Amino acid sequence: MKHAREEPFGNAERVIDLISAVNELHGFSSQELNKILRDSENFSIHCYNKKGSSIKVDVEKLARFLPLHLIAVLISSGRDEESFRYLLRGIRLLHSLLDLTSRHIKLEQILLDDVKVSEQLLDLVFYLLIVLGHYRQDYHDSSPMRMLHSTLVACSLYLLTGCISSQWQDLVQVVLAHPKIDIFMDATFGAVHVSIMFLQIKLSEQHSDVCLHPHEQVVNFICQQCEASLQFLQSLCQQKVFRERLLRNKELCAKGGVLFLAQSILKLSIMPPFVESSTVVTSVSRLKAKVLSILLHLCEAESISYLDEVASSPESLDLAKSVSLEVFDLLRTALIKDPKHFGSCMGRTYPTGLLQLNAMRLADIFSDDSNFRSYITMCFTEVLSAIFSLSHRDFLFIWCSSEFPTREEDATVEYDLFAAAGWALDTVSSSATKVEFSLIQSSMPQASYAHNRTSLFVKVIANLHCFIPNICEEQERNLFLNKFLGCLRMDPSKVLPGFSFTSGPQKASTVCRNLRSLLSHAESLTPIFLNEEDVTLLRIFFQQLESSINSAEIEGDQVQVKHFNLTLISFIFLFF
């Protein structure tokens, strides 16, 4: 912190007091500070610094000068562990002071009503995110910088709920009115992206069983920080005015910034031994569900088509196709799990987020877009044909039932900035105890979940088979049908291992029987879950598929008869 002491305000003594105040007071919660202030004189706090000297901290001055002091530290100091730890202490103390504004009018007047201080608070958060978004990633495995980085990102974002509002619509209005809103958007997505890349490094590390537990705690903590940060972005994107403004940000939308973040999250892979940790596995699952939710919000925007934006250049279109492939691969992975045995060996269960449902919602959107339909047809039809090749009993159980046993549960992290910063700082000091944030769970009724899932399945098939002459290209006519027929010749057990399939001559009849059952079930889901147009397209697909299969069987029989006749004639000639 050498540079931090070099006259950020032109008054070295004041800076030294601030540094001592940050180092000594950050560990006090807002409740503890409130008790101390009630018993104090002149709104001051007496404490001791590390040298044992008594210091008197004027809390009014502390609140007034702390934001600018932290900005000065950020500008003048290095990007090393000591600086990050100090900044985290400062953010933690600021959070406690902001929490006190509802109980102390003096703090409210300084931190919330003083325009100059309010602007400094926003500048502090913006600049922190800029620095964290351009952070290097070449630190040694044992370095705590990855953990400090992810904690600083989350704490910086949630500091906004204290200095602006905990109501998202109010927070968004203030942020959007800021002249540097595009910089904020770029920096926020960038900082979260760096945290995700740090998380992947930690998930890929190898550890012996002897030293696994402390490493698992750190990985779980970084997962929580990443999830909290991504949840902040998700909450912003849930506000219509924010996502409409985000769509006008060229770097994030037209040039693929959001997609790069989504791709990194969807590619997160958990290596042994962390695959045995239910907290890590479910946290990563919720991360993927949340980033899919962000993509869904952007795709559902009304003023600007997000998919048209990403299709505006070959590079971003290729990136979008790569992300769509990750989505369909995620779906395939989810579909190969036998629902009768899912979660039976996980022990204590944690919510996984609406991962499969959000993936299916995106599949519906991608398959309905002319830029992606042909690509999705070529990449995913084999999985769809394998699903329809399931034994009739399994197919009914998975796709035509109101009692599907596996129901995903969504969850919201109840983020505690004070606890998070404290755990990261204590871990660096090797005196941490386990911290686990509360998850507010939410789930839809079982029947509703099953019907939503089936309706999305039907919509994907309807989208892929749909052909509109004035919009679709001629080579797309019956592309899905022909690809589907070709995939029926393949071995479905290679696509969906662990299930039972009908093989041989009975396979075609099983596929038709499954489609007929799906059509009947889909008709019962209108108009609440499905519209008539989707059901009609499914019916047309079924009729054409059945007709093609019957024609192929007739042609096959004719070929066999012709072959038999030729064989018989040859035999007669040989005999005579």
- Ranking 35-39, 279-283, 327-331, 552-556 by mean pLDDT, the lowest is 552-556
Question: What are phi and psi for residue 439, nearest 5 degrees?
Answer: -115, 120
- pLDDT grade, residue 558 (50/70/90)? very low
Given a cut of 80, is residue 510 above it in pLDDT?
A: yes
- Among residues 77, 98, 113, the one where a domain terminates is 113
208 part of a folded domain: no
Given a cut of 50, is residue 559 above it in pLDDT?
A: no
Residue 21's domain spans which residues? 1-113
Is beta strand 54-58 parallel, antiparallel or unpaired with respect to 44-48? Answer: antiparallel
Mean pLDDT computed over 202-208: 77
**Structure tokens given for 13:** 């003594």
Query: Which residue is associated with the tokens 């396979």?
Result: 507
470 part of a folded domain: yes
Q: For residue 496, what pLDDT is reported?
A: 87
Please tell me the total count of domains within the chain: 2
Residue type, 350: Y
The rounded distance, in Å, linking the Cα atoms of 98 and 104 is 10
Q: For residue 340, what pLDDT is reported?
A: 58
Given a cut of 50, is residue 488 above it in pLDDT?
A: yes
- pLDDT grade, residue 498 (50/70/90)? confident
- Among residues 97, 113, 129, the one where a domain terminates is 113
- pLDDT grade, residue 14 (50/70/90)? very low
Give the number of other Cβ atoms within 10 Å of residue 311's Cβ.
Answer: 18
Q: For residue 138, what pLDDT is reported?
A: 61
Q: For residue 338, what pLDDT is reported?
A: 60
Q: Torsion-angle region of residue 140: left (phi > 0), alpha (psi -120 to 50) or beta? A: beta
Q: For residue 261, what pLDDT is reported?
A: 98
Given a cut of 90, is residue 357 above it in pLDDT?
A: yes
Q: For residue 51, what pLDDT is reported?
A: 73
163 part of a folded domain: no
Digit-coded pLDDT (tens) for 533-548: 999 999 999 999 999 9
Digit-coded pLDDT (tens) for 189-204: 999 999 999 999 999 8
542 part of a folded domain: yes
Contact (CB, 8 A) for 194 and 149:
yes
Closest to 293 measured CA to CA, from 371, 356, 351 = 356
Digit-coded pLDDT (tens) for 302-319: 889 999 999 999 999 999
Query: Which residue is associated with the tokens 């404490």?
Result: 47
**Structure tokens given for 49:** 């610094």
Digit-coded pLDDT (tens) for 427-438: 755 545 667 788
The residue among 181 and 274 whose pLDDT is bigger is 181
Closest to 286 measured CA to CA, from 353, 196, 187 = 353
Contact (CB, 8 A) for 112 and 174:
no
Helix axes 145-163, 115-133, angle to 10 degrees: 150
468 part of a folded domain: yes
pTM passes above 0.75: yes
Contact (CB, 8 A) for 217 and 162:
no
Digit-coded pLDDT (tens) for 98-123: 999 999 999 999 999 999 999 999 99
The residue among 519 and 214 whose pLDDT is bigger is 519
300 part of a folded domain: no
Residue type, 335: L
DSSP alpha helix (H) spans, 492-531: 506-524
- pLDDT grade, residue 215 (50/70/90)? confident
Contact (CB, 8 A) for 194 and 132:
yes
Looking at every residue in the chain, the average pLDDT score rounds to: 88
- Among residues 51, 83, 113, the one where a domain terminates is 113
The rounded distance, in Å, linking the Cα atoms of 164 and 112 is 8
Q: For residue 552, what pLDDT is reported?
A: 61
Mapping DSSP to helix (H, G, I), strand (E, B) and coil, where does residue 277 land?
coil
Q: For residue 514, what pLDDT is reported?
A: 97
Digit-coded pLDDT (tens) for 442-483: 888 999 999 999 999 999 999 999 998 888 888 889 999 999
255 part of a folded domain: no
Contact (CB, 8 A) for 83 and 73:
yes
Mapping DSSP to helix (H, G, I), strand (E, B) and coil, where does residue 147 land?
helix
Is beta strand 410-414 parallel, antiparallel or unpaired with respect to 44-48? Answer: unpaired
Q: For residue 513, what pLDDT is reported?
A: 96
The residue among 493 and 170 whose pLDDT is bigger is 170
The rounded distance, in Å, linking the Cα atoms of 331 and 335 is 6
391 part of a folded domain: no
Given a cut of 70, is residue 379 above it in pLDDT?
A: yes
Digit-coded pLDDT (tens) for 51-110: 777 888 999 999 999 999 999 999 998 888 999 999 999 999 999 999 999 999 999 999
The residue among 343 and 283 whose pLDDT is bigger is 283
